[in-house]
Homo-oligomer: A and B are copies of this chain.
Amino acid sequence: MVIIMDTGAAADIIQAVIDKVSELGFTPHPIYGVEKTVVAVIGDKTQEKIEVLRTMPGVERIVPILQPFKLAARDVAPQGTEVDLGRGVTIGGQSLVMMAGPCAIESAEQYVAIGRYVRSAGAKVLRGGIYKPRTSPHDFQGLREDGIPLMRQIKEELDILLISEVLDPRGVELLADVVDIFQIGTRNMQNFSLLTECGRTEKPVVIKRGMCATLDDLLKAAEYVLVEGNNRVILCERGIRTFETQYRNTLDISAVPTLKRMSHLPVMVDPSHSAGRPDIVPALCKAAIAAGADGLLVETHLDPQGALVDGDQALDAPAFERLMRELEPFAHAAGRPL
């Protein structure tokens, strides 16, 4: 860390900070300037002492130097990590992975029908939640446990991978039994108990960025899973909250190349929840591929108008099939088979 002292801080004030650094077990490197003095402190364990030093008299501010995430950092695997999703599908390598499906599973017929067209259009993973974190308790909350047998049935029938949101640490074990990939939703990005439970399984975990989280926060959330020994973490950009009201959230496309530089983990994009309207979803999918995303998570529904959850952002079957065809040339331009 670098401790920046107040302009004109007195010699004894500066000395007290230097002494404190020594007392904490580090070697202080003071640099005295005409207007300003700074004290550099280099070392592995300095981060946790920043707060101690920050309130000392004469300290203007402290600049941390090491990243606060270690296991998720690019340095750990400079060539990038390819996560095995099962059934021969991986993400983070050459191929692009399309995950698609309804927001919530509503019935067996609906789910099978969607699964069929999704799969035949080329998606490798079927999404669909049985637990839905709804902003209001008066809204439909998902099929809950009743959805489990349905999921099992569909998986056999369609020979497809399933991704589903987990909401509660008590639900991890139950869901692990049937889904192939856990999804941590935007509202749970900092639900550390839930992250820890997922870290104790061997399932891949897609962590959606909190709608107000920095990239640093997202990587630190990933760290909660990684630290438990589960290395199958996939980061997902899904839009952040800004003042713009034309779309539900603002897709942060710069996050894609930046996360790839900061971390070795695969990066996905969810354009549907970001947009909250289907008309701009194809443009956002193309942009995500062009920016270097490793996968997409797209909402599609047989009958968006009749959907119980988030129908207003889902593509219907023909629109989804058209999307898959339209993405083809962009995947090709990016040199990545879809």
What is the interface of chain A, defined by CB distance below 8 A to chain B? 2, 4, 7-8, 20, 29, 31-38, 40, 42-44, 47-48, 50-56, 63, 65-66, 68-70, 75, 133-140, 167-170, 187-188, 190-193, 196, 210-212, 214-217, 220-221, 223-224, 227, 240-247, 250-258, 261-262, 274-275, 278-280, 283-284, 286-292, 304-307, 309-312, 314, 329-330, 332-334
Secondary structure at chain A's binding surface: helix, strand, loop or mixed?
A: mixed
Docked complex Cα distance between A206 and B43 (Å) = 40
Is the beta-carbon distance between B241 and A135 smaller than 8 angstroms?
A: no
- Return the chain B residue nearest A312 by Cβ: B54
Instruction: Please give 14 more A-B residue pairs, beta carbons under 8 A apart, in addition to A254-B284, A283-B292.
Output: A20-B305, A35-B66, A36-B42, A36-B65, A37-B42, A38-B40, A48-B139, A136-B223, A170-B193, A214-B243, A216-B246, A242-B242, A247-B254, A257-B280
Which of B29, B54, B138, B217 interacts with A135 by CB under 8 Å? Answer: B217
Task: List B contacts of A33 (CB < 8 A).
Answer: 42-43
Docked complex Cα distance between A312 and B255 (Å) = 19
Docked complex Cα distance between A135 and B210 (Å) = 12
Task: List B contacts of A40 (CB < 8 A).
Answer: 2, 31, 38, 40
A260 shortest CB reach to chain B, Å: 9
Pick the most buried of A34, A246, A332: most chain B CB atoms within 10 A of its CB. Answer: A246
Task: List B contacts of A139 (CB < 8 A).
Answer: 48
Docked complex Cα distance between A240 and B314 (Å) = 27
Docked complex Cα distance between A250 and B244 (Å) = 12
Docked complex Cα distance between A251 and B75 (Å) = 26
Task: List B contacts of A7 (CB < 8 A).
Answer: 66, 75
Is the beta-carbon distance between A242 and B240 smaller than 8 angstroms?
A: yes
**Can you offer 22 A-B residue contacts whose CB atoms are under 8 A?**
A31-B31, A35-B44, A35-B66, A52-B306, A54-B311, A133-B192, A136-B220, A168-B193, A210-B212, A214-B244, A214-B246, A215-B246, A240-B242, A242-B252, A246-B254, A247-B254, A254-B274, A256-B283, A256-B287, A283-B291, A283-B292, A332-B333
Is the beta-carbon distance between A36 and B66 smaller than 8 angstroms?
A: yes
Is the beta-carbon distance between A168 and B169 smaller than 8 angstroms?
A: yes
